[in-house]
Structure 1
């Protein structure tokens, strides 16, 4: 064997060894993917991007309406390892801006200032459409009012009153709890008023009548309250017929 052939042969061995070594380094990261520590059937939230940092896990039955102080506004990435859609919100009780995460997918929040270290609640739901509402929290035979449209945000549950003279569910609405949406899960209609005394009127120049004395939500109905009524309710009562509204 000539010197030239020996050099060529050794060069081929070196090249082959380098190729094998490089291929090994290229394969390793693919087998050690980010988020691979998220258990099946869990939503995993992380305090750093790429599934790094501290991890919190939640199963579909967990109530994610708010986090404790050590975790609130901490999430920078997420892995949805469940069969459900994951909805994450920047405010507690499914309020504020939201992001949706498809089953099996991951998501990053560190590069968007609207979501970076602002996540304060989440829920797991059968379809993406459920991320945009929160009415399902309302118990049966209750009037539930919400501070945001579509049943999102802080919820107040009103228990039926037994007072035969007023039939009211409440007259203690404040500016911070005035409803933007309502679900009436009772068997009676509910009349809302702009004054705490179960009275008052609203003026709507665009409407033929011009003024309204009550905003009515029929039994079983849920609704986002439109202008000029939204965020103005201060009292309400239950009635058997809408003509009973004050």
Structure 2
């Protein structure tokens, strides 16, 4: 009889242990959902390649250089003191979104997919809408989009052997829509590659479109993308 009672107690003990093990497995979580915008430290601008701020993260320090983004960012977190500007194409081109300090933004919501291709961090939101700052002092820079955005071409002045014009001639691939003249001379744009051509506005005919030294402009819609040459002059009276 004693042996039977001992075995019963052992059986009860084993049953209790198995029950505890089973209950422990039952309360363990399954694969936990990823935490949105995880790991973005203070002073960092973070880009995530997963929806809703998940996936692989790229960290950009607040004082870091502006970059072209070669991944596929579908969300960002701006944990800096600066405004973050994100663009749908390279070189600050295409569509634009602005992210204020401390905020997040998602670009794959409601069936709409918007991928970040380039970005920059700036002190004020207004600077997100321009890209003129890429043009260095002493350069003539033309841009493929309005307000200094999109692909930038830096023109190095040369003396044309036939016309002796100090400037540049180029093709339709440049197609300037905005300009910054950061030289000490005035800039005369022409409609033809040989520094000639005219256009008419009302009753007036013009032979050059002038950008004064130090000025940046968005080219009028009627002329955007039509310039094929320009020259640098001391006086605007020297324009053809």
Name the TM tier (shorter chain). 0.7 to 0.9
Contact map agreement 2:89 2:117 (CA 8 A) in 1: yes
The answer to whether 1:101 aligns with 2:99 is yes
Gaps of 5+ in 1: 1-28
The answer to whether 1:238 aligns with 2:238 is no
For residues 66-104 of structure 1, the C-alpha deviation after alignment (integer angstroms, 9 at most, x for no partner) is 233xx1xx1111000111000000010000110000011
The answer to whether 1:48 aligns with 2:45 is no
SS in 1 for 2:187: strand
Find the counterpart in structure 2 of residue 82 from structure 1. Answer: 80
Distance 1:113 1:244, change over 3 A: farther
Point out the structure with the larger strand share. 2
C-alpha distance in 2, partners of 1:177/1:113? 35
Contact map agreement 1:170 1:237 (CA 8 A) in 2: yes
Contact map agreement 1:203 1:228 (CA 8 A) in 2: no
C-alpha distance in 1, partners of 2:195/2:44? 47
Distance 1:54 1:117, change over 3 A: farther
SS in 1 for 2:214: coil
- Worse-matched range after superposition: 193-202 or 155-164: 155-164
SS in 2 for 1:67: strand
Distance 1:48 1:99, change over 3 A: same
Q: How many residues align?
A: 206
Find the counterpart in structure 2 of residue 21 from structure 1. Answer: none
For residues 5-52 of structure 1, the C-alpha deviation after alignment (integer angstroms, 9 at most, x for no partner) is xxxxxxxxxxxxxxxxxxxxxxxx9xx963240122111000112321
- State which structure, 1 or 2, has the greater radius of gyration over its C-alpha atoms: 2
Find the counterpart in structure 1 of residue 209 from structure 2. Answer: 215
Distance 1:155 1:200, change over 3 A: same
Contact map agreement 1:215 1:229 (CA 8 A) in 2: no
The answer to whether 1:122 aligns with 2:119 is yes
C-alpha distance in 2, partners of 1:47/1:105? 17
Find the counterpart in structure 1 of residue 17 from structure 2. Answer: none
